Amino acid sequence: MVRAQQQLTLLPEARFRLNRRRQSSAHLPVYQLLDQVKDPEIPVLSIWQLGILQDIRVADNELCIVITPTYSGCPAISMIKAQISEVLHGAGIRHFHIEVRLSPPWTTDWLDADARRLLKNYGIAPPDTTACPQCGSAQTEVISEFGSTACKALMRCLSCHEPFDYFREF
Amino acid sequence: MSQSPALANDLGLFARRLGDDALVLGQRLCEWCSNAPMLEEELAIANIALDYLGRARMCYAYAGEILGQTEDHLAFLRDAKDMENLLVVELPRGDFAFSCVRQFLIDEFEVLYFSGLKQSAEPQIAAIAEKTFKEISYHQRRSRHWLRRLGLGTPESQQRTQVALDSLWGYCQEFFLMDHLENRLCQTGHAVDRAGLTQTWQAAVLAHIAACNLVVPEDGWAAKGGRQGVHTEHLGHLLAEMQVIQRSYPGLNW
């Protein structure tokens, strides 16, 4: 029985598709390897949890790792590519290439359920709420629509007066 | 690519000029680093500049593949006469009001333009447009907001914003000019008819200007020539600063 205060969070369809692609993939071990690759700007999240890792398939007789940038100018993408190469080389996989795919464009709908919780614990308000990640107050205001990176806005809590980053819905 | 060589070449030149617009404006916006009126806005402007730089790279990567040139060559080794950006993006950043008004006028145009370009018959152009459209829509929100704050702020902010609007108005007509290249690409469904966006842009811009206690300038003079490589004196200075490292150390890599 579902209690009244329990909330059922529905997974956005976009994320559901990503999950299904991974679950039914013949390259599941490679997905698991790449879980080590974190976003350099938000080191608590892996590129899989962020929805940057889109697909792993075979093309031209080698592995093709498909990733998508969060924002078109995201400087983390070259570091992410380097980290993917490092992890795969470390595992003895030599023949692969990385494809950067632009379409469909990245959306916060691609964040997985863990990502939202991890962001909050890290002190960043996840896209679905602008409540203060420190004290939980809903009384907050926007300081600037762009924060320390393109994916975040800068907010301030009116209860505990702490500033915080908001991972903006996109 | 299965297109004819002539079409591919047109697409390469088209993407290159879209890249020029983005690169030059991105460079101008970067000049606000350490110069913005407050730290938060400095971050915001730098983030917007980064979106433009990202767009320039997507466009140049695509164009470069067709034209046989690297991204670095396209950005750092072309002179002013080879650049085909719109004049409005190369104008000096001016005061904060000037940069806000320019961004507002451009955002209002680009939202319409890239919304149309998402339907381009060339998948990579459509993908770039789709990515750009999402980013511009967010910029537009901030620009509208700042125009309101400045126009309805103090007498000084209102006056400076009005001056900026008056001096930028004549540069906006270039948004809507078509040339042979874009006409050809339009006929095949690869580009967007700029002229057709005039009325929608004007309606959106005029309504917001009026709501911000500002007066719409009268249509009079109009500056053009960017697409033909005929630029204001300001572009050369911008390029000199932006390109100096690559020209001093040819082939330099990160």
Q: Which candidate, B199, B191, B200, places its Cα nearest to that of B227?
A: B191
Q: Could you give the percent of chain B with pLDDT greater than 70?
A: 99
**Residue A6 pLDDT grade (very low, low, confident, very high; cuts 50, 70, 90):** low
pLDDT, tens only, A70-123: 998 888 899 999 999 999 999 999 999 999 999 999 999 999 888 999 999 999
Res. A5: pLDDT tops 60 = no
pLDDT, tens only, A118-157: 999 999 999 988 999 999 999 999 998 888 888 899 999 9
Chain-chain contact of B138 with A145 (C-beta, under 8 angstroms): yes
User: What would the mean pLDDT of B196-212 be, rounded to a whole number?
Assistant: 97
> Which pLDDT score is estimated for A145?
86
Question: By 3-state DSSP, what share of chain A in percent is helix, strand and coil, each rounded to 5?
Answer: 30, 20, 50
Q: Who has greater pLDDT, A9 or B139?
A: B139
Phi-psi region of A60 (alpha: psi -120 to 50; beta: other; left: phi over 0): left
Which pair of tokens denotes residue B107? Answer: 């955002």
**Mutation site, B23, B27, B43, interface A, largest A CB count within 10 A:** B43
Angle at A76 between CA A25 and CA B113, to 5 degrees: 90
Chain-chain contact of B128 with A102 (C-beta, under 8 angstroms): yes
Res. A51: pLDDT tops 90 = yes
Phi-psi region of A100 (alpha: psi -120 to 50; beta: other; left: phi over 0): beta
> Residue B54: which of A74, A144, A145 has the nearest Cβ?
A74
Partner B contacted by A147 (CB < 8 A): yes
Res. B32: pLDDT tops 70 = yes
Res. A169: pLDDT tops 90 = no
> Residue A72: which of B43, B58, B126 has the nearest Cβ?
B58
- Residues with Cβ within 8 Å of B235's Cβ and at least 6 positions away in sequence, in order, are B24, B80, B83, B85, B90
Res. B81: pLDDT tops 70 = yes
Count, residues in chain A: 170
**Residue B33 pLDDT grade (very low, low, confident, very high; cuts 50, 70, 90):** very high
User: What would the mean pLDDT of B146-151 be, rounded to a whole number?
Assistant: 97
- Cβ(A65)–Cβ(A98) below 8 Å: yes
- Residues with Cβ within 8 Å of B200's Cβ and at least 6 positions away in sequence, in order, are B112
Chain-chain contact of B47 with A143 (C-beta, under 8 angstroms): no
What residues of B are in the A interface, CB distance below 8 Å?
40-41, 43-44, 46-48, 50-55, 57-58, 123-124, 126-128, 130-132, 134-135, 138, 141-142, 145
- Residues with Cβ within 8 Å of A147's Cβ and at least 6 positions away in sequence, in order, are A153, A154, A165, A166, B43
Stated as kind and residue range, the H or E segment containing A167 is strand A163-167
Question: By 3-state DSSP, what share of chain B in percent is helix, strand and coil, each rounded to 5?
Answer: 70, 0, 30
**Residue B64 pLDDT grade (very low, low, confident, very high; cuts 50, 70, 90):** very high
Partner B contacted by A144 (CB < 8 A): yes
Res. B238: pLDDT tops 90 = yes
In angstroms, the separation between the Cα of residue B222 and the nearest Cα of chain A is: 32
Residue A40 Cα distances to A46, A81, B61, angstroms: 9, 11, 24
User: What would the mean pLDDT of B59-86 be, rounded to a whole number?
Assistant: 97
Q: Which candidate, B242, B191, B201, places its Cα nearest to that of B26?
A: B242
- Cβ(A45)–Cβ(A53) below 8 Å: no
- Cβ(A28)–Cβ(A18) below 8 Å: no
Chain-chain contact of A146 with B43 (C-beta, under 8 angstroms): yes
Res. B2: pLDDT tops 90 = no
Phi and psi at residue A100, to the nearest 5°: -95, 115
User: What would the mean pLDDT of B49-70 be, rounded to a whole number?
Assistant: 97
Stated as kind and residue range, the H or E segment containing B86 is none
**Residue A170 pLDDT grade (very low, low, confident, very high; cuts 50, 70, 90):** confident
- Is the bond preceding residue B5 a cis peptide, omega within 30 degrees? no
pLDDT, tens only, B85-139: 999 999 999 999 999 999 999 999 999 999 999 999 999 999 999 999 999 999 9
Read off the DSSP letter of residue B93. -
Angle at B125 between CA B119 and CA B128, to 5 degrees: 100
**Domain spans, chain A:** 13-110, 123-167
On chain A, the residues whose CB falls within 8 A of the CB of B44 are 144-146
Q: H helices of B68-197, where?
A: 71-76, 87-90, 96-117, 123-151, 155-168, 180-187
Rounded Cα gap, residues B71 and B51, in angstroms: 16
Which pair of tokens denotes residue B61? Answer: 């990567």
In angstroms, the separation between the Cα of residue A78 and the nearest Cα of chain B is: 12
Domains of chain B: 5-248 (1.20.1260.10)
> Which pLDDT score is estimated for A79?
94
On chain B, the residues whose CB falls within 8 A of the CB of A105 are 127, 130-131, 134
Res. A17: pLDDT tops 70 = yes
Q: Which candidate, B172, B183, B190, B185, places its Cα nearest to that of B226?
A: B172
| Average predicted confidence (pLDDT) for chain B | 96
Q: Does the complex come out with an ipTM higher than 0.90? A: no
> Which pLDDT score is estimated for A150?
81
Which pair of tokens denotes residue B46? Answer: 């730098």
Res. B1: pLDDT tops 60 = no
On chain B, the residues whose CB falls within 8 A of the CB of A75 are 50
CATH number for A13-110: choose from 3.30.300.130, 3.40.50.300, 2.40.30.10, 3.40.800.10: 3.30.300.130
